[in-house]
Amino acid sequence: MGPDDLNELTRARPFMPFRIHLTGGTTYDITNPEFISVGRRVAAVGVRRDPNSPYFDAPVFVALVHIIRIEPIIEPAAAGGT
């Protein structure tokens, strides 16, 4: 995946959460555009221990060549919703 493609996803308005799949099987959920910073060959992904926290705990550096797939994170419809 190229940096321009990943940047396009992070800058989309409205932002749509997405999941990054890596060659080793690891995944990272990007639920906030402020939790990812894209470089030419790597992306810094902010990882949270508490999914409800507005802050990440530590960055993880991901080589863009190891991204094999990106998929949208679809929120389930609210029960009884319209």
pLDDT band with cut points at 50, 70 and 90 for residue 79? low
pLDDT in tens, 29-65: 999 999 999 999 999 999 999 988 889 999 999 999 9
The domains of the chain are located at 3-72
Cβ neighbours around 7 below 10 Å, total: 15
Residue 14 has pLDDT above 80, yes or no: yes
- Please state which CATH class domain 3-72 belongs to: mainly beta
Q: Model pTM?
A: 0.84
Geometric angle at alpha carbon 66, from 65 and 67, rounded to 5°:
95
Non-local CB neighbours of 72 within 8 Å, separated by 6+ positions: 16, 17, 18, 19
pLDDT of residue 51: 83
pLDDT of residue 78: 52
